[in-house]
Amino acid sequence: MGRELFGKGPDGEDVHRYVLSNDAGVSVDVIGYGATITAAHVPDRTGTKRNVVLGFSSLAPYLGPHPALGAVMGRFANRIAGGRFTLDGTVYKLPINNNGNTLHGGKRGFDRYTWREVEFDASRARLVLGHTSPDGDEGFPGTLDVRVTYTLTAKNELCIDYFATTDKPTVVNLTNHAYFNLSGEGTGDILDHELVIFADSFAPVHRNQIPLGELQDVTGTPLDFRQATPIGARIRQGHEQLVRGMGYDHCYFLKKPAGTPADQPIHAARVRSPKTGIVLDTYTTEPGVEFFTGNVFDATLVGPSGSVYRQTDGLCLETQHFPDSPNQPAFPSSVLRPGTPFTSRTIYQFGVSD
């Protein structure tokens, strides 16, 4: 119960769909391919359940080209400039797949593999998936063994816990790439969603979306979401950062209060749909959150509702290390060494308001 065959993966392997549910009427669907969140059904202010995650109703579209809907991204989420980095004096060259850079781990990142089932307990609404990336995979050093755990709690929290070990020094940046629409999948854009990002600064980028290597205060810019603001209020402004990102596609710096333990998530963002009252709060142990407004959707993808996905039909809150951090000494380090596991926790908590 809670597990069913979803299709065959690219190498002929079985891909299963898992359903995590709680007594509050919330359920989350995950498939083994890409450790992908395919749906999240949440009651709105009237009690009507709505799917608030963009995705597909069958496996085939996930195997084709799409902008990483709902998947775990790795080895390195976001971009690495020029497809290369230096670690301990050695230069590592990676596949180029995005305007001269490496995006989301290369040409075949973690989102393009079927993860193995480690544990599934429907009664506890808990799923553990694993993936082993061999030494040299997409140019990255070290054999990396990764596990991601999805847990749906009685408090309507979808907890995502990442764990990874390596046998050689390497770089790691893992995130989930779910696109949310709190009015419901297929209902249109998210421009009326009211967003708060609990951050005073962000990483400005070049035209190719590589960070300049510094942080910029959000004050006086359309990237200031310290107070609840409709996403569409300033997205069409001619600010150079919005032009370069074709909308919002920026990493915000999450400053932990003094004395906060490293393993304690902090409040990163809150977003609310005024149409449904559904609220999403994001908490994380990561130093950054990439806010992305689905700027690449071009009406070529069709969701389970039968609607095509257009620009700004979903938003991502990708908790992660900063883009290009292996080449940016001022950013928090993404280096992982043998004997010290990588751990990270993100919580997406669903709620409702009037």
Residues 6+ apart with CB under 8 A from 208: 99, 100, 101
pLDDT at 207: 87
Tokens at residue 264, please? 């304690």
Phi, psi of 4 (to 5 degrees): -150, 155
The CA angle 220-224-226, to the nearest 5 degrees, is 125
pLDDT at 249: 97
pLDDT at 354: 86
What whole-number distance in Å separates Cα of residue 106 and Cα of residue 119?
28
CB contact at 8 A, 285 and 264: yes
Nearest Cα to 20, choosing from 154, 170, 151? 151
> 276-301 burial string, b = 16+ CB within 10 Å, else e?
bbbbbbbbbbbbbbbbbbbbebeeeb
pLDDT at 286: 98
pLDDT at 1: 59
Mind spelling out the 3-state secondary structure of 322-354?
CCCHHHCCCCCCCEECCCCCEEEEEEEEEEECC
What whole-number distance in Å separates Cα of residue 320 and Cα of residue 285?
9
Q: Which element (helix H / strand E) includes 309? A: strand 308-310
CB contact at 8 A, 88 and 109: no
What whole-number distance in Å separates Cα of residue 222 and Cα of residue 234?
6
Residues with a catalytic annotation lie at: 177, 318
What whole-number distance in Å separates Cα of residue 9 and Cα of residue 32?
9
The string of DSSP codes covering 95-125 is ---BTTBEETTSTT-GGGSBPEEEEEEGGGT
pLDDT along the chain (354 residues), means of 10: 92 97 97 98 98 98 97 98 98 97 98 98 98 98 98 98 98 98 98 98 94 96 98 97 96 94 96 98 98 97 97 98 97 97 98 94
Cα torsion 50, 54, 60, 61 to 10°: value is 150
Task: Report the residue count for the chain.
Answer: 354
